[in-house]
Amino acid sequence: MKLFDCQPKKFRGIFVNWRNLLMWGQNMDAELIAVGTEMLLGEIVNTNAAYLARGLSQVGVTSHYQQIVGDNPERLDAAITVAEQRSQMIILMGGLGPTKDDLTKQVLAKHLGLQLVEDAAHRQKLDDLAKQRQKVMTPNNLAQALYPEGAVTLTNHVGLAVGAIVSGEAHQYVLLPGPPREFTVMVDRELLPRLMQGEKQHLVSRTLRFFGLGESALVTAIGDIIDGQDNPTVAPYIKDYEVTLRLTASAVSEAAANTMLDQLQARILAVLAPYYYATGANVTLAQTVVQELIARKISITAAESLTAGLFQATLGSVAGVSAVFPGGFVTYAPTVKHQLVGVNAATIADYGVVSRETACAMAEGARSALGTEMAVSFTGVAGPDSLEGHPAGTVWIGLATATGVRAEEFHLGGHRNEVRIRCVKTALMMLLHELRSN
């Protein structure tokens, strides 16, 4: 690993000592400076800073200040000077690309009195691309392979601009690319592992995904596991009505880190298994369910009232779903519940639209109409108004299989479209339990 081949060197007053860098990782205070006029104009939101902040907290690096500056060399230089007065590590995000506005590494190099030198691997990538596109790379394009002399380079696994860590006596400077796709990969695979302490240089993370309980309930449920946990760390995060737990272990080897994560995961799932659906940074609940259906060759359909097609559209978001999903029904009006999936008018008259009986009849009717192994049904009150005396958020979800039909009642919170989204995810969890229990 290149990091450990380096001996301390001095370049124009900048000491390069990677052992120091490793030990500085802990108890270090980082200032994040995002560079880009488009952020000052409000055209894009600085999501990189939030992503990096979460990562830094996992490796014990605190951050007390962030700045945003435009693509202006003087102001960027001034912002670096401000940061030097209050932070030890200065992380510059953006401005490594090929356009004339991309000046971040030039400004940093000038600030530190360093030359820019070329990284052979990234230069090769640029040459290969030029060959492939039968074009000649301009100097602007080639500048993406440059980094300040003496720096540790950070490989860009999904783009062309090289990143870098420049180590001085009093400060560390980090250069990261701006496009979030490049940024997040470089943070996870290149930067964070290098910020780990001492010999524990192997940092491994995994993300456990849960649906069906809120963040505070989840954190309460595993409070004794999280408390006092500093390696591995456990970081909860909420998005799209789901909670994720990002577990991060540092160890002398990747295998050792994974063993630590396995043990922690087992302790967490002993408590939270009913809410767990998958492990992975990008996997969705819908993907997980569709993969289970495909693996088991189980076909599915649906009859949707309040969700009005959202469940089927969510299945449809997963490539390859056509193998198990022939189509289905949106049965918004009571008459259409009868016409398309055969719900008796008497069932609706006796029990109401929002009832176990109607949900079961819809699921059975849909399954029978298309001849699938499974069918899901949705009936309830999305809101804002109540229906048949039931408040908004009252929902029945039916599930018909070869062995019978059942329905469950839920009381979901939020506005109309939050209720509808929660409703779809709740059904996906029901399906997952049904599939995994067989």
Residues that bind a copy of itself (CB under 8 A): 39-47, 49-55, 57, 63-70, 72, 75, 78-79, 82, 86, 237, 302, 304, 306-313, 315-317, 319, 321-322, 325-333, 335-337, 339-340, 370, 382-385, 416-417, 420
Alpha helices of 113-241 — where are they, by DSSP H? 120-133, 139-142, 180-186, 192-194, 215-221, 223-226
Closer to a copy of itself by Cβ: residue 42 or 139: 42
Q: Rank residues 5 and 43 by Cβ distance to a copy of itself and give the closer one.
A: 43
Q: How far is the CB of 32 from a copy of itself (least distance, A)?
A: 8
373 is written with which tokens? 């192994």
Q: Measured from the CB of residue 255, what is the shortest distance to a copy of itself in angstroms?
A: 29
Helix (H) or strand (E) holding 380: strand 374-380
Contact 224, 278 (CB under 8 A): no
Looking at the Cβ atoms of 52 and 430, the one nearer to a copy of itself is 52
Beta carbon nearer to a copy of itself, 5 or 385: 385
Q: Which residues contact 239 (CB under 8 A, 6 or more apart)?
A: none
Q: How far is the CB of 50 from a copy of itself (least distance, A)?
A: 4
Q: How far is the CB of 63 from a copy of itself (least distance, A)?
A: 5
Q: How far is the CB of 85 from a copy of itself (least distance, A)?
A: 8
Q: Which is nearer to a copy of itself, 268 or 310 (CB)?
A: 310
Distance of closest approach, residue 434 Cβ to a copy of itself, in angstroms: 21
Shortest approach of a copy of itself to residue 418 CB, angstroms? 11
CA distance 45 to 35: 12
Q: Which is nearer to a copy of itself, 137 or 412 (CB)?
A: 412
C-alpha torsion sign, points 253, 254, 258, 264: positive
Residue 126 Rama label (left phi>0; alpha psi -120 to 50; beta):
alpha
Q: Which amino acid, residue 123?
A: R
Q: Which is nearer to a copy of itself, 17 or 299 (CB)?
A: 299
Are the beta carbons of 48 and 93 closer than 8 angstroms?
Answer: yes
- Residue type at position 212: G
Q: Which two tokens stand for residue 46?
A: 């600085």
Rg of the chain taking only CA atoms, in angstroms = 27
Element spanning 90, H or E: strand 89-93
How many CB atoms sit inside 10 A of residue 24's CB? Answer: 18
Least distance (Å) between residue 319 CB and a copy of itself: 6
Q: Report the residue number, 187 or 268, with the smaller CB distance to a copy of itself.
A: 187
Nearer to a copy of itself, 31 or 119 (CB): 31
Structure tokens given for 369: 């109409």
Give the Cα separation of 206 and 402 in Å (integer).
37
Instruction: Residue count of the chain, please give it.
Output: 438
Cis peptide before 179 (omega within 30 of 0): no
Please give the Cα distance from 424 to 103 (Å, whole number): 47
Query: Of 174, 177, 178, which Cα lies nearest the Cα of 162?
Result: 177
DSSP 403: T
Min dist CB 268 to a copy of itself, Å, is 20
Task: Report the residue number, 16 or 76, with the smaller CB distance to a copy of itself.
Answer: 76
Min separation Cβ 309 and a copy of itself, Å: 3
